[in-house]
Amino acid sequence: MSILAASLLLPLLSQGPAVGERFPVHPFPPVAGAERAFGSLAFTGKPALLHVFASW
């Protein structure tokens, strides 16, 4: 199967959760500034701006 053909079988670009959806919770380990794994308490209780990025 060509790369192009394979790509046509997949949905459009995945951009993560959409407006109106609940942001998913996974037990992401802390890298900096946190002691516990990522959880729902990380952003409930007050509004949050969540940045997904890479240092590269």
Partner 1 sequence: MWNRDLADLVADGSLRQIGIVLEQHPDRARLFAQWQQMDWPIYADALDLLDLEVVPRSFLLDARGIVVAVNPTEEEVRGFVDSLASAGGADPGPYQPYGAEFRGAHEFLVGNLPAALSAFGEAVEKADDVGGRSRARFRLGVARMAAAEQPNAEPGLFAAALEDWRAALAANPSQYVWRRRIQQYGPRLDKPYSFYDWVATARAELSARGETPATLHHEPSGAELAVPRRGTAEAAAEALSEPDPERRMPAMPAGTLRVESAVVAGTQEQPVVRVHLLLTPVAGAATWNDEGEATEAWLRAPAGWELVDGPSAKIEGSSESALGDGTRRLEFELRRTSDGAAFVEGYVLLDLCLGEDGVCMRLRQDFRVTLP
Footprint on this chain of partner 1 (rule: CB under 8 A): 3-4, 6-7, 9-11, 13-34, 37-38, 40, 42-56
Quote the CA–CA distance of 24 and 16 in Å, as a whole number.
Answer: 9
CB of 18 to partner 1, least distance (A): 7
Instruction: Retrieve residue 51's tokens.
Output: 């940045």
Task: Pick the closest to residue 23 from 46, 43, 6 (CA basis).
Answer: 43
CB of 39 to partner 1, least distance (A): 8
CB of 24 to partner 1, least distance (A): 7
